Amino acid sequence: MALFLLCKTPTDFFNGRKVAISLKPAPPVHHALRVEEGQILKDMTVIKAAEPQTPGETAWGAPLVWGDSQKSAFQRDKFSEQGVSIGLLILVVGTYARFVRPFLSSAEIHFLPNQMVTYYVFTDNPRTLDPSIELGPLRQMKVLPVSELPGWEGLAYRRMVLFAEAIRDSIGKEVQYIFYADVDQEFVGPVGEEILGDLVATLHPEVFGMPRNMFPYEDQEVSAACVEEDEGDYYYTSEFYGGSVSQMSRLARDCSLLILQDQANRVTARGLEESYLNRYLIDHRPTCVLSPEYNWWDSPLTARVPKKRLVSFGRQCEAFDKEKKERQNC
């Protein structure tokens, strides 16, 4: 069954939206692949089961990081001697305010606990952070007010621009490394210095282990995010990525240009920001690839991992059926 088509032949792969001017939440990958809830395509299960579980390196020689590997332990030792400063960017707008406290509390415990971390909270409502959250001695928080981002549509178009400007104007002068994380997640296991690198991207847990022709890259040729059939090594998640200041500055700037180009042409990539990020990461291969331990949720397609470290509750909810969504207050 051909589940993926070329840029030249736009299809209804993602809900029949050739040109989606009004934005709709991106469908979970198992929906995009037409897998019914709880029912996995038999051949796909075989393909996924046959994949090596914890490869240590990418085809281009970048480390593929599993937190409990020896290489990761070595990397942690190396950095623990020198000390680094890291900025963690989160966006908290509208109803997503409900996620910020659990997110930050979990980051205090698990996210680079022995390093200098500054949380940069982009929010339309700084009061969300009252009363202030108690932070560890090496940690601080900076609130960056954002305005006029009505709904997801405004956010999706403006988010990368916001980051690019903030990195250029302030953040870039204050820290050595910058990570972005979706706020609808929680750290549930240690995330240490093994994640540090120049350009760091995380493998999408539902796509990891699938053959290349199943990757849900953008396929509309009119989109700046379009990926040709012979391109692409991995499909990355948009929920967690990072790198050095210069690399993150370039990533945010270039992705925002791709997004603005599509906006001008009244086109939207079907996977929204994830599509633009994947396009960028094909043109600029990551120097460090994080395994799905660093972006995990439970769904029929999710790869099994030795340890869960960062779990997406937002995407977890999307993977539930209607009844479970109600039970879990999604």
Determine whether the annotation assigns residue 200 to a binding site.
no
274 is catalytic: yes
> Of 186, 274, 293, 318, which is the active-site residue?
274
Binding status of residue 315 toward ligand UD2 by CB under 6 A = yes
Binding status of residue 239 toward ligand UD2 by CB under 6 A = yes
CB of 91 to ligand UD2, least distance (A): 4
> Binding partner of residue 56 among ligand UD2, Mn ion, none, CB under 5 to 8 Å per kind?
none
Binding status of residue 155 toward ligand UD2 by CB under 6 A = yes
92 or 195, CB closer to ligand UD2? 92
Binding mask 21-40 for ligand UD2 (x = CB under 6 A): ----xxxx------------
Binding mask 91-110 for ligand UD2 (x = CB under 6 A): xxxx-x--------------
CA atoms of 123 and 197, how far apart (whole Å): 27
Binding status of residue 183 toward ligand UD2 by CB under 6 A = yes
Binding status of residue 314 toward Mn ion by CB under 5 A = yes
End-to-end CA distance of the chain: 33
Q: Are 30 and 206 in contact (CB under 8 A)?
A: yes
27 or 56, CB closer to ligand UD2? 27
Binding status of residue 215 toward ligand UD2 by CB under 6 A = no
Binding mask 219-238 for ligand UD2 (x = CB under 6 A): -------------------x
Binding status of residue 206 toward Mn ion by CB under 5 A = no
Q: Out of 182, 218, 219, 293, name the contact with ligand UD2 by CB under 6 A.
A: 182
Binding mask 162-201 for Mn ion (x = CB under 5 A): --------------------x-x-----------------
**3-state SS string for the chain:** CCCCCCCCCCCCCCCCCCCCCCCCCCCCHHHHCCCCCCCCCHHHHHHHHHCCCCCCECCCCCEEECCCCHHHHHHHHHHHHHCCEEEEEEEECHHHHHHHHHHHHHHHHHECCCCEEEEEEEECCHHHHCCCCCCCCCEEEEEEECCCCCHHHHHHHHHHHHHHHHHHHHHHHHCCEEEEECCCEEECCCECHHHCCCEEEEECCCCCCCCHHHCCCCCCCCCCCCCCCCCCCCCEEEEEEEEEHHHHHHHHHHHHHHHHHHHHCCCCCCCCHHHHHHHHHHHCCCCEEECHHHCECCCCCCCCCCCCCEEEHHHHHHHCCHHHHHHCCC
Instruction: Give residues in contact with Mn ion (CB under 5 A).
Output: 182, 184, 314
Residues lying near ligand UD2 in the complex (CB under 6 A) are found at: 25-28, 90-94, 96, 152, 155, 182-184, 238-239, 272, 314-315, 318
Catalytic positions are 274
- Binding site feature residues: 96, 182-184, 204, 274
